[in-house]
Structures are given as C-alpha cells and as structure tokens.
Amino acid sequence: MENNLLTSEFPFAEGILEGKTALVCGASKGIGRATSLMLARAGCRVISCARSIDALESLISEMHGSDHEYFSLDMEDLNGISEFVSKIGSIDILVNNSGGPPGGPLLDNSIEDFEGPFARHLHASHILARGLVPGMEKAGSGRIVNVISTSVREPIDNIGLSNTLRGAMASWSKSLSRELPPCVTINNILPGFTDTDRLGSLADSISAKTGKGVEEVHDGWISSVPIQRLIDPLETAIAITWLCLPSSGAIRGVSLAVDGGRMRSI
C-alpha cells in the first residue's frame, strides 16, 4: 500500500515541480530514496544516484511518473563524479546526501579515516555544485539541499568523525549561501532519529560497545524525542521538497531540523 505521505492528500504532492529536473544522491535507501519518491510525486524528473543498481531499479519502478533515470555512482570517486556532471545536462535541484561514517570515539580515528567520508560528502558536494550552478543560473532558478545532521548544533556522542564532517558541510553551505547567484538557494536538512538502516547500524554499534540491548538503545532514543517515535524518512523528504519549491526562494543558508523536537537548542 502506498504511504499516504505520497498521495495527493499532501498539499504540494502533485505537480508543483512539474518541468524541473532533480539529482538525488544516495538514493538507494533511507532519506535519499524517500526524497526521490517525493520529488517524483511533486512532478520532477528525477535522476537518482547510488552504488546499488538493484536498489535503484526497484526505486524507479515505484516512482510516480516517467522519464526518471538512475546511475550507479560512487561518491568517493571524485573523477567519476566530475565526468558524470559533464554528461547529465541541466539540473534544477541538487540533493546532496550520502551515508555517514562508522561510529566510535573521535580519537580512535586515524587521519586516513577522514579521507573517504570527507570525499563522499564535502568534496563530492563541492564538485557537483561547481558543475551544476552555472546551469541553474542560466535557467534563472536552482535549489541545493544538503542532508546532514542535528550534530551540527549539538554533537552526538560516539560519532565524533560524523560530527566533524557534518559541521564542515554546514559551514561550506553557509559560505556558499553568501556567494551563489541570487536565483540559486542552498539549505541544509538536519535529520533526527530517523527510521533508516543507518540508525539500525548505529544502534548495533552502541549495543556492542555498551552492552545494552538494541531495543534498550531504541527506547532511549525515543524517550528523548517529544513526538515519542522515530521519524519516517518521507517526513524528511517533505521538508526537502518544500525547500525546493519556487516559492521558497527567500529561504537561504538555513539548517532546518526534522528531529521531532529532540534538540534542546533554539
């Protein structure tokens, strides 16, 4: 059964982004997958990218509309990303999204541990922006949305490398918001505890390190969230879609939390 968040009951679910082309990275699962589905429902032609061809084929089969495309793309292959950008043509919406690095204390990481995560997040996003912004400016409109983390405001225990990386992405984005053409916006989405494979892996890691059961870890997370549940990835995708609307042009350089009220900071 189709999730009701994807139906026409949703105010801008049908056609409001008709004629736009969106590039969604990390689209094979989780928030990236949900964003591809939501943008397609909103009328976009969606180009979905990830490493898993099988997962992308499954995604395309479920997307509203036609003319969608998918490409196998390793976000750590920076030369491959540059070549990809040179071939895909004009893009109206860019969603930068990629899986986070493994958890653990920050001082347990070597310098080499930083290289892959920074490549697939910060470096890949920069290459994509440099390549696609000129076309957005020429078209008179563009939207860039980065999926990062609430840790840019409140660091999360036991994922020090991810905290560091997400902070760098937020600063990169804020700097770009002051430099991009007036018609191109860039904003960040900060997901909270979202029902994804990534969260499941983090729960397993915490369980192994602390001796707590996975269910106990989940219960601890949920008890800290005012809405008392995990967030559906489609709820995050709705916020991303909203930032991509033509009417959202005045929203620029912000970091919008979709966390169920978990963060205590303003």
In the DSSP assignment, the letter for residue 66 is S
Least confident of 99-108, 166-175, 241-250: 99-108
State pTM to two decimals.
0.92
What is the rounded CA–CA span in Å between residue 111 and residue 91? Answer: 35
Domains of the chain: 4-192+231-257 (3.40.50.720), 196-230 (no CATH)
pLDDT at res. 79: 97
Q: Look up residue 214 and give its two tokens.
A: 């996975």
pLDDT at res. 32: 97
Average pLDDT over residues 59-75: 95
Q: Look up residue 4 and give its two tokens.
A: 């009701």
Question: How sure is the predictor about 110, in pLDDT bands with cuts at 50, 70 and 90?
Answer: very high
Q: How far is CA 110 from CA 93, 107, 203, 238, 255, in A?
A: 35, 8, 23, 37, 29
What is the rounded CA–CA span in Å between residue 24 and residue 233? Answer: 14
- Per-residue pLDDT for 207 more than 70? no
What is the rounded CA–CA span in Å between residue 127 and residue 25? Answer: 13
What is the rounded CA–CA span in Å between residue 210 and residue 216? Answer: 11
The residues pairing with 184 across neighbouring beta strands, listed in sequence order, are: 142
Q: Say which residues have a Cβ less than 8 Å from residue 202's Cβ, sequence separation at least 6.
A: 103, 159
Q: What is the mean pLDDT of the chain?
A: 91
Q: Look up residue 99 and give its two tokens.
A: 């899986």
Q: Which of 257, 181, 187, 248 is nearest to 226 (CA)?
A: 257
Question: How sure is the predictor about 1, in pLDDT bands with cuts at 50, 70 and 90?
Answer: very low
Question: Residue 237: enclosing H or E segment and its boundaries?
Answer: helix 233-243
What is the rounded CA–CA span in Å between residue 261 and residue 225? Answer: 6
196: amino acid identity, one letter:
T
Question: How sure is the predictor about 10, in pLDDT bands with cuts at 50, 70 and 90?
Answer: low
- Per-residue pLDDT for 102 more than 80? yes
Average pLDDT over residues 227-245: 95
Average pLDDT over residues 152-170: 94
Q: Which residue has the higher pLDDT, 204 or 234?
A: 234
pLDDT at res. 7: 57
